[in-house]
Structure 1
Amino acid sequence: MGTDAHAFLRELAQELRPRSDQLTEVVLQRLRSEFPEAWRHEDIAAVAPAGLSQHVDAVLEFLERGRELSEVTTPPAAIDFAARLAEHGVQISELLRVYRLVHAGLLQLFYEEMGRLTKDPELINEVMIALSAVAFEYVDRTSQQAVAAYQRARDRWLQRRLTTINEAGTRIGTTLDTTRTAQELAEVGTDHLADLVTVDLLDAALHDEGTHPDDGPPVVRRIAQSASDGGTDRTDPVDVPGPRHIYPEGSEPAVALATGQPLRLGIKVSDAPTWLELPADDSDASGAGGIHSMLLVPLWARGNPLGLAQFCRRHTADLFEDDDLLLAQEIASRAAVNIDNARRYTQERAIALTLQRSLLPQDMPEESAVETASRYLPSGSRAGVGGDWYDVIPLSGARVALVVGDVVGRGLQASATMGRLRTAVRTLADIDLTPDELLTHLDDVVIRLQRTEQRAMGEISATCLYAVYDPVSRVCSLASAGHVLPAVVTPGDAPTRHTVVFPDVPIGPPLGLGGLPFETAQFELPPHSLLVLYTDGLIESRAREVDAALAVLSDVLAQAPASLEETCDGLLHALLPSRPTDDVALLVARTRALDADHVATLDLPSDPAVVSEARTFASDLLAAWGLEEMAFTTELVVSELVTNAIRYGKSPIQLRMILQSTVTCEVSDASGTAPHLRRARAFDEGGRGLLLVAQLTERWGTRHHREGKVIWTEQLIPAAPVE
C-alpha cells in the first residue's frame, strides 16, 4: 500500500470513528432485511448488534493504527453469534452469508465516505484497491475462526442430543406394560424438551385388534401425560385409560396420525384450536393453557400407527424448532417400538404381511432417469408370505438402479432375510459398485448369513437381478445372480406395437454358492423403452409352461398401453390366477434420456490457475439454466472439488454438471484415492474444504471406475416463490 493510501485510510477511519454506532445500525438494518429468519430467536437478535459493533470497531482500529493482519482475531460477540446460530440449527451457509452481507455493507459505506474526503481519482483508485484487498483478507481470517466456533458449538449440541437419546433408550421401555411405557415417554419429554407431553394411543391397538380400524375415523384414548413448570414437579398419571375420543376431521392431529408425518405448530392465544385438550386442572381463561408452540409426533412402529404424542411449550419462551422436532421423533420412535413390543399379535399371517409391506418401498421415488410402477402380490397358499422384493435406488450422476430379488422359503424368516438383503443392496449401491461387483459382495453377505444362522434357518439361498440405467448415455448395465432375465420393450414403427426382447445376458449362480463369477452386460436403450423386471412367480405355474408364459408376457408388452399402471395390471391379469401359488414382485420402468442442454462438461489441466475458469463455467451454466441464485454456493463447491482434484488427483481432470431435479457437480480424475472428511483444528490452514462441501450440498460422495474416481455433489434447486 502506498504512503498516500495508508495515510488516507487512517484519515478515513478517524472520520468514521465518531459515527461507528451509525455504521453499525445501517449494516444491521440490512442484515435484518436480508436475513430475517435469525431474528425470531431472541438470543441471536440480542447478540447480533454487539457482534457487528465489535466488527466495526475492529476494522476502524485496524485501519487507524495500521495493525498487522496476523494480529486480527474474531470479536468475542461474533464468536458467540456463530455459536448461537449453530445451536439453533441455522446452516453454516447462512453464517457465511452474514459475513458476505456485512463485508459488502461496510465497503459501500467506506466508498461513500471516501468520495466526500477526496476527488483525486488516482488516490481513490489506489485506496479502493488497498481497502478491498485488506477487507477480503480480514473476512477470510475472521470467518475461519467463526466457522470453527460454529462447528464446536454444533458438536456440543449433537453430543447433548445423543446423551438425551441414550437416556431415552434407558428410561423408556423398562417394562412390557403399554401404559407405563407411554408414561415414560411423557416424562422424558418434559425433562428434556417440553413443558407438557400427552400420549394418545389407538383404541384398537390397546385391545390388540390391529392398528387399522375397518371404517370411520380412528378412535384414540389418552393413556399418559406429564407436565412441568420448569422444575421437577409433574402431574400425576391420568386415569388409565382415558375416555375414547376422535380428533376432528381435517385437524392437525388427525392429519399427523393419518399420514405418519410430524407437525410443528405455533399456537395463538386468541385463536387456540378447538381440538387442544388439556388436563382438567391445567387450563386458563385463554383455553390454551398458555401453550404457544406444539409438536405433533405420530407413534409408528414397524410401519403401523399406534397413536400420537403431543409436546407443548408454555413456560419456556422459545418456540420449537426443526431440531427439536427431530429429537422428539427420535424419542417417540424409541417409545413406539417399546409400546409395540408390549402388544401381542394373534395372527401370524397378519404379522408376515405387515412385515413384508413395511420392507418393500411404500412409495416409488420420482426419478428423472425412469418412470416406474410396481406390484407385489403375496401367495394365496397357507405357506405364508415369501421373500420377493423390488427396489428403485437413486444413484449419483442422474443414474438409477432397478432391483428385483427372491429369497427361497416362506414365512417370517424369508421376509426377514429379504429385508436384510434389500438393505445390503442399498448399502452396496450407495458406494456405486458395478452390477457384477455388487452381486459378488451380496453373495458374501448370504454366505455369512448361512454360517451365523444355519441352525435357526437352515440353508439360505436367493436370486437377484441388479440393473443400472444412465439417462445421459442411455446405457443399461445389468447382472443376474440366478434370476430370470428382464423383458426389454423398445418403441416400434407403429404407435400401438412395440418390440419385445429378452437380452442375451449370462445368468450367474444363485446367491449363497460362492466362488463363481458374475458378469455385467451393457446395452443401449432408445428413449421411452420399457424394462420389465419380475420374479419367477409371474411366469411359473403348474398349468402353463414357462415358454408359454413368456409368450403371453411378450404379447401383452408388445401392445402395452401408455400407462405403466395399466401395463402392470394387464400383466397380472394375463399371467396369474386369482390366487397365485407363489409371491410375485413386478417392477416396470420407462426410460428417459436426459436433455443434452442439461449436461455440460469441461476438461481441465492439472493447473491451480484453472480453478477460476471452472467457477466461471459453473456460474455461466447456472445462468443459462435460470438458477443464478445458486451461483455463490455452486462456485464454492466447484472450487473445492477442482482444487482437491488438482492437488491430490491425476490428469485427466474433468468437471461435469447435470441439471435434473437437483444440480449435480462431478469432478473426475485418474487417481483412485478417495477424499474424506476430517476434523480441522481451530488454526489449521486446511481440512475444511469437504466440511464446507458437505454443509452446502444435499448429498456428496465418491464413485470409482476403472480409470479413476468421480467426486460428486447434489444441490437442491430452490423452490419458486409463491405469488
Structure 2
Amino acid sequence: MDEAAVARAAITVTGRLVDKLPVITKTVQQSLVAAISELRDEEQLQQLLRDTVESNVETFFAAVRHGISVQNVEPPIAALEYSRRLAQREVSANALTRAYRLGHRAALRFILDEVRATDLDPALRLAVYELMEAVSFDYIDEISQRVVEAYQDERDRWLESRNSVRASRVRDLLASGDDVDVDAAAMAIRYPLRRIHLAAVAWCDESGEGDELSSMERFFNRFAESIGAQENPLFISVDRVTAWVWIPVPGEAADDVVNRLRVFDDGPFLAVGNPLPGVDGFRRSHRQAQDARTVAVAAGAALCRFTAAGDSGVAVAALLGGNVESAAGWVTDVLGPLAEATENDERLRETLRAFLGSGSSYKAAAEDLHLHTNSVKYRVNRAVERRGRPITDDRLDVEVALLLCHYFGASLLH
C-alpha cells in the first residue's frame, strides 16, 4: 500500500472528524463520567475535564494531519492541570489512567465510523484505520505517562504541604491551654478528639527504599482496624523514620489495648502512653509516649522494641533519666562497686532487683528468673557484699538505682 496515499486519506478523514470535535468531546466526556464515579465532581472540574478531552483529541488530530511524531507532542495544558486537580482531591491515579484508556476506546469508535463512511477502496480504508489506530495508541501511551507523572508530583507536593499544615496544628494543640474548641480542633486536624486516645512514638531504621513512613502508617491502620476503631489513627511524620501517632480506642478495648499493641505483628520500635480520654488525654498520652521513648532510646536496642509508660518503673526512669550524668553519679553513690559495668555485676543487679520487686521473696524471684531458690539467695548475698553495706536502711534508693541501671545500662555505669 502506498504510504503517501494512506497519509493523504488519513488527513481527509481527520479533517471531517475535526468538524465533529464538539460532538466527539461531549460524547467522550459523558462516557468517562458514566463509567468512573470518581470523576463526577463539581461543575468547575467538569469543565476542565471537557477541556482536557477536547485538547487531547485536537492534539491527536493535529499529529495525524501534520505527520508529527507523538514523542514531539507536549501534553495539553488542560490535561496536565486536570491531573493535578485530581491529585489534590485525592482521586486515585487509577481513575486517571482508566479515563485515558476508556477515552481512547470512545475516540476510536468515531474514527472507525468515519473511515467506514468514506468511499475509499476497502484496502485503503483498512490501512487508514490502522494508521490512525497506531498513532492514537502511541499518543495515549505517551501522554498518559506524562500526566501521571504530573499527578504524582502534585500529589507528593500536596500531601507534604497538607501534612505540614496538619502537623503544625497538632503541635499548636499540644502546646495550647485548656480553653480549646474541641470540635473545631478535631476538624482542623481531621481526628476525633472526643475519643480515648493511645499515643505512640514510632521509629525505625532506614531501609534505603524510602517507604519507612508509609510502612509504619499501614501498621497502625491495621492495628486500629484489629481493635475495632471506627476512625483512622492520626499519623504525623517527624522525620523520615520517626512519627507521632494517636489511635482512637473504642471504650471496650481500652483496658488491654497496650498489651494488644505490644504483641501485634512485627512493627517498628514503639514507645506508648496510656489510653486516656478527651483533649487532655490526647496531650498527656503523648507526653507519656515521649517520656517512654527517652527511656527506650537510652536503654538500647535490647529493651526498646516496645516500651510502655505504664510498664513498671518506666515513669520513674523517665523522671530521673533526664540528666543521665547526675543520675550516674547518684547510682554510683548508692550501689558502690555493684554499679560496675561487668557481666557478673549485671547478673547480681538483676537478681537483686527481682528479689526486691517480689517483696523480698526468694521463691517468687526464683520463679521470675527461672532459677533455683538457692541460686537467688547466693546472688542476693553477693550483691549486698559487692555494694559494701546492707540494704535495710535505704532500700528505696537501691530499688530506684537498680531500676535506672536496668533501663539506662551502659550510659550510667563505669
Q: TM-score, normalised by structure 2?
A: 0.51
Distance in 1 between the 2:192 and 2:106 partners? Answer: 48
Residue 37 of structure 1: aligned partner: 38
**Residues 1:189 and 1:42: Cα distance change in structure 2 (over 3 Å):** farther
Residue 87 of structure 1: aligned partner: 88
Contact 1:10/1:64 (CA < 8 Å) preserved in 2? yes
Q: Residue 358 in 1 paired to residue 261 in 2? A: yes
Distance in 1 between the 2:195 and 2:182 partners? Answer: 13
Residue 126 of structure 1: aligned partner: 127
Contact 1:356/1:415 (CA < 8 Å) preserved in 2? no
Secondary structure of the structure 2 residue equivalent to 1:122? helix
Q: Relative contact order (alpha carbons < 8 A, sep ≥ 6): 1 or 2 greater?
A: 2
Distance in 1 between the 2:125 and 2:91 partners? Answer: 39
RMSD, aligned CA:
4.8
Residue 109 of structure 1: aligned partner: 110
Distance in 1 between the 2:340 and 2:296 partners? Answer: 14
Distance in 2 between the 1:47 and 1:419 partners? Answer: 56
Contact 2:100/2:144 (CA < 8 Å) preserved in 1? yes
Residue 287 of structure 2: aligned partner: none
Q: Residue 420 in 1 paired to residue 289 in 2? A: no
**Residues 1:460 and 1:169: Cα distance change in structure 2 (over 3 Å):** farther
Residue 149 of structure 1: aligned partner: 150
**Structure 2 runs not aligned, ≥5 long:** 199-223, 238-242, 268-294, 308-323, 332-338, 344-366, 374-414
Contact 1:172/1:335 (CA < 8 Å) preserved in 2? no
Aligned-pair CA distance for 1:104: 1.7
Distance in 1 between the 2:123 and 2:342 partners? Answer: 82
Contact 2:186/2:192 (CA < 8 Å) preserved in 1? no
Secondary structure of the structure 2 residue equivalent to 1:117? coil
Aligned-pair CA distance for 1:184: 6.9
Secondary structure of the structure 1 residue equivalent to 2:90? coil
CA deviation string 1:493-545 (max 9, x = no partner): xxxxxxxxxxxxxxxxxxxxxxxxxxxxxxxxxxxxxxxxxxxx8995869xx
Structure 2 counterparts to residues 625-640 of structure 1, below 5 A: none
Structure 2 counterparts to residues 253-652 of structure 1, below 5 A: 259-262=228-231, 330=236, 355-361=258-264, 420-421=304-305
Aligned-pair CA distance for 1:25: 1.9
**Residues 1:8 and 1:200: Cα distance change in structure 2 (over 3 Å):** same
Aligned-pair CA distance for 1:154: 0.8
Residue 509 of structure 1: aligned partner: none
**Residues 1:12 and 1:415: Cα distance change in structure 2 (over 3 Å):** same
**Residues 1:73 and 1:416: Cα distance change in structure 2 (over 3 Å):** same
The residue type equivalent to 1:91 in the other structure is: S
Distance in 2 between the 1:162 and 1:460 partners? Answer: 47
Distance in 1 between the 2:142 and 2:98 partners? Answer: 15
Aligned-pair CA distance for 1:460: 11
Structure 2 counterparts to residues 680-699 of structure 1, below 5 A: none
Residue 166 of structure 2: aligned partner: 165
CA deviation string 1:168-214 (max 9, x = no partner): 24312216x6x44xx27655455576xxx984356xx9xxxx9xxxx
Structure with bigger strand share is 1
Residue 138 of structure 1: aligned partner: 139
Secondary structure of the structure 1 residue equivalent to 2:174? coil
The residue type equivalent to 1:361 in the other structure is: F
Contact 2:296/2:303 (CA < 8 Å) preserved in 1? no
**Residues 1:460 and 1:73: Cα distance change in structure 2 (over 3 Å):** farther
Secondary structure of the structure 1 residue equivalent to 2:117? helix
Moved over 6 A (4+): 411-419, 456-461
Provide the aligned length of Structure 1 versus Structure 2: 262
Q: Residue 200 in 1 paired to residue 194 in 2? A: yes
Contact 1:169/1:334 (CA < 8 Å) preserved in 2? no
Aligned-pair CA distance for 1:42: 5.1
**Structure 1 runs not aligned, ≥5 long:** 211-254, 263-296, 298-325, 341-349, 365-410, 424-451, 462-536, 544-723
**Residues 1:117 and 1:169: Cα distance change in structure 2 (over 3 Å):** same
CA deviation string 1:577-614 (max 9, x = no partner): xxxxxxxxxxxxxxxxxxxxxxxxxxxxxxxxxxxxxx
Distance in 2 between the 1:22 and 1:120 partners? Answer: 27
Rg bigger for which structure? 2
The residue type equivalent to 1:103 in the other structure is: H
The residue type equivalent to 1:359 in the other structure is: R
Aligned-pair CA distance for 1:412: 9.6
Aligned-pair CA distance for 1:161: 1.9
Distance in 1 between the 2:34 and 2:342 partners? Answer: 63
Percent identity at matched positions?
Answer: 20
Distance in 1 between the 2:157 and 2:341 partners? Answer: 47
The residue type equivalent to 1:420 in the other structure is: C
**Residues 1:14 and 1:168: Cα distance change in structure 2 (over 3 Å):** same
Distance in 1 between the 2:25 and 2:342 partners? Answer: 70
Contact 2:170/2:189 (CA < 8 Å) preserved in 1? no
